[in-house]
Amino acid sequence: MTAYRGWIFATVAALAVAGCSSAPDDEASKSARASSSSPAPGSPAAKPRATPVSAFCRDLDPYKVSVVAFQADVTRSLRGEPLDIGDLRRRAAALETMGDGMEAGVPPDIAGSFGTVRRSIDKSASKLTPVAKVRDLVDTMSSERVSLAVNDLVAYECGAGAG
Inside any domain, residue 11? no
Q: What is the domain range of residue 66?
A: 51-163
> How many other β-carbons are positioned within 10 Å of the β-carbon of residue 156?
20
Cβ neighbours of residue 156 closer than 8 Å, sequence gap 6 or more = 60, 110, 113
- Phi then psi for 97, rounded to 5 degrees? -65, -45
Inside any domain, residue 30? no
pLDDT tens for the chain, 163 residues long, are: 444 344 344 443 443 444 433 333 444 434 443 444 444 444 444 444 555 568 899 999 999 999 999 998 888 877 888 888 899 999 999 999 999 999 999 999 999 999 999 999 999 888 888 787 777 777 788 789 999 999 999 999 987 644 4
Inside any domain, residue 36? no
The answer to whether the predicted template modeling score (pTM) of the entire model surpasses 0.85 is no
Inside any domain, residue 18? no
Instruction: State the total domains in the chain.
Output: 1
| SS3 per residue for the chain | CHHHHHHHHHHHHHHHHHCCCCCCCCHHHHHHHHHCCCCCCCCHHHCCCCCCCCHHHHHHHHHHHHHHHHHHHHHHHHHCCCCCHHHHHHHHHHHHHHHHHHHHHCCHHHHHHHHHHHHHHHHHHHCCCCCCCHHHHHHHHHCHHHHHHHHHHHHCCCCCCCC
Inside any domain, residue 31? no
Inside any domain, residue 156? yes
